[in-house]
């Protein structure tokens, strides 16, 4: 198995629960993170070696990433597992899967690449790479079947993990926060490249929000490997000493907050499942942005908006993601309880659509692949 970032690690951990329930003696190896390691996974490289986003950023690390993939492929061909599962990270995993499948190793790809949003040409690569695709959105299997790719809808694992009615007070107590008073969660991304482009903007936006509403409190969950860098960025910001940095605990932060300023990515879906109003932001290398923007097929970037097929939450991307704009859009949620209630109803409907017994459905689909 290979998972390349925290969201993939979470997905893989839940999938492993299904594998272990069906095959208690299963052995899993490859590249993974803490959720996988906690379930007995043996990781041959640190997961954060793969956690790079954006064309230009990937180019800077290409030699190292390509070297890891070559070594991993060679080792898997020597040890010959019964199955290889690539968890998201399509730019890394699809080429690896194609190479392994071409030599006779069965392959499963978990999470359909978003060919419905951008880069539709990847369907050819998916067809060559995967014996089966595990899909987390209900419309994807039919789309893949039309292109000759076998697939199953397994629900979105996060929809099963996150409760339909989050307990904000319990989350605040667990984090040592007051049960009363407005709290904004800042989530500038789980990758180093995201953090470097967004954290300073988020901290400046927080300063503007604090100026408008002095009673506001701010929390910022950070993946453990980036704690030191985030602390340095905060120290250099106008909010030094005024934002609580959390070691991980992003789910607790989302449960505890009243609104979140958040980087585009899987975390936005987590925020939607916690029924939290959000402002989605993104900023990256300018050339990477131009290349990605040209391939965009839909008007939305954030997953909640894509799934709802509407701008249900604001998206402030690239040059639009100024501290002033971010602050104003976040404060607007705190000042509009009626809009928040309507959004929460819509997110509850989305949650029910995505909620399935994902570990069991994954194991059933994988058993079908192994029996063929």
How much is the pLDDT for 120?
A: 80
Span 261-286, average pLDDT: 90
Report phi then psi at 177, rounded to 5. Answer: -105, 155
The distance from CA 224 to its chain's CA centroid, rounded to whole angstroms, is 16
pLDDT for 340-368, tens place per residue? 999 999 999 999 999 999 999 999 999 99
Please tell me the predicted confidence (pLDDT) of residue 213: 96
Given a cut of 60, whether residue 56 has pLDDT beyond it is: no
Question: pTM of the entire structure?
Answer: 0.74
Sign of CA dihedral 163, 155, 118, 193: positive
pLDDT tens-digit readout, 68-94: 999 999 999 999 999 999 999 998 999
pLDDT value, residue 370 = 96
Higher pLDDT, residue 291 or 139: 139
Between residues 124 and 114, which one has the greater pLDDT? 124
**Which pLDDT band, with edges at 50, 70 and 90, does 126 fall under?**
very high
Q: What is the rounded average pLDDT of the residues 315-333? A: 94
Nearest of 89, 81, 66 to residue 29 by alpha carbon: 81
Tens of pLDDT, residues 24-33: 999 999 999 9
Domains of the chain, start order: 2-155+356-371 (3.40.50.2000), 168-354 (3.40.50.2000)
Section 42-58 average pLDDT: 72
Q: Does residue 362 contact residue 18 with C-beta atoms inside 8 Å?
A: yes
Q: What is the pLDDT of residues 201-252, one digit of tens each?
A: 999 999 999 999 999 999 999 988 888 999 999 999 999 989 999 998 999 9
What is the pLDDT confidence band of residue 275, given thresholds at 50, 70 and 90? very high
Please, are residues 111 and 84 in contact by the beta-carbon 8 Å criterion?
A: no
* Mean pLDDT score, 325-352: 97
Average pLDDT, the chain: 91
Whether the predicted pLDDT of 178 surpasses 80: yes
Q: What is the pLDDT of residue 297?
A: 46
**The pLDDT of residue 196 is above 60:** yes
């Amino acid at each position: 198995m290979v998972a390349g970032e925290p969201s993939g690690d979470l997905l893989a951990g839940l999938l492993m629960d299904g594998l272990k329930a069906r095959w208690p003696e299963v052995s899993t190896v490859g590249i993974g993170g803490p959720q996988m390691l906690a379930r007995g996974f043996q990781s041959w490289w640190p997961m954060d070696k793969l956690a790079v986003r954006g064309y230009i950023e990937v180019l800077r690390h290409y030699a190292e990433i390509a070297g890891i993939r070559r070594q991993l492929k060679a080792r898997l061909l020597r040890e010959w597992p019964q199955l290889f599962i690539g968890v998201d990270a399509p730019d890394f995993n699809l080429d690896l899967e194609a190479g392994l499948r071409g030599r006779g190793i069965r392959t499963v790809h978990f999470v359909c690449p978003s060919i419905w949003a951008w880069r539709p040409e990847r369907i050819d690569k998916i067809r060559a790479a995967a014996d089966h695709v595990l899909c987390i959105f209900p419309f994807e299997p039919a789309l893949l079947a039309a292109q000759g790719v076998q697939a199953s809808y397994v629900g979105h694992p996060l929809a099963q993990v996150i409760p339909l009615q989050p307990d904000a007070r319990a989350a605040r107590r667990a984090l040592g926060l007051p049960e009363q008073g407005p709290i904004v969660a800042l989530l500038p991304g789980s990758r180093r490249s995201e953090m470097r482009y967004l954290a300073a903007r988020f901290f400046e936006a927080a300063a503007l929000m604090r100026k408008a509403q002095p009673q506001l409190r701010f929390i910022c969950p950070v993946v453990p490997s980036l704690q030191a860098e985030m602390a340095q960025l905060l120290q250099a910001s106008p909010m030094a000493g005024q934002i609580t940095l959390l070691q991980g605990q992003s789910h607790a932060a989302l449960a505890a907050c009243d609104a979140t300023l958040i980087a585009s990515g899987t975390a936005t879906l987590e925020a939607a499942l916690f029924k939290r109003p959000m402002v989605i932001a993104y900023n990256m290398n300018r050339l990477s942005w131009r290349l990605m923007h040209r391939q965009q097929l839909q008007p939305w970037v954030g997953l909640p908006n894509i799934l709802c097929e509407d701008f249900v939450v604001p998206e402030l991307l690239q040059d639009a993601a100024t501290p002033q704009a971010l602050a104003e859009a976040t404060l607007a949620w705190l000042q509009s309880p009626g809009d928040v209630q309507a959004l929460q109803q819509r997110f509850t409907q989305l949650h029910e659509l995505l909620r399935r017994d994902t570990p069991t459905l994954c194991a059933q689909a994988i058993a079908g692949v192994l029996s063929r």
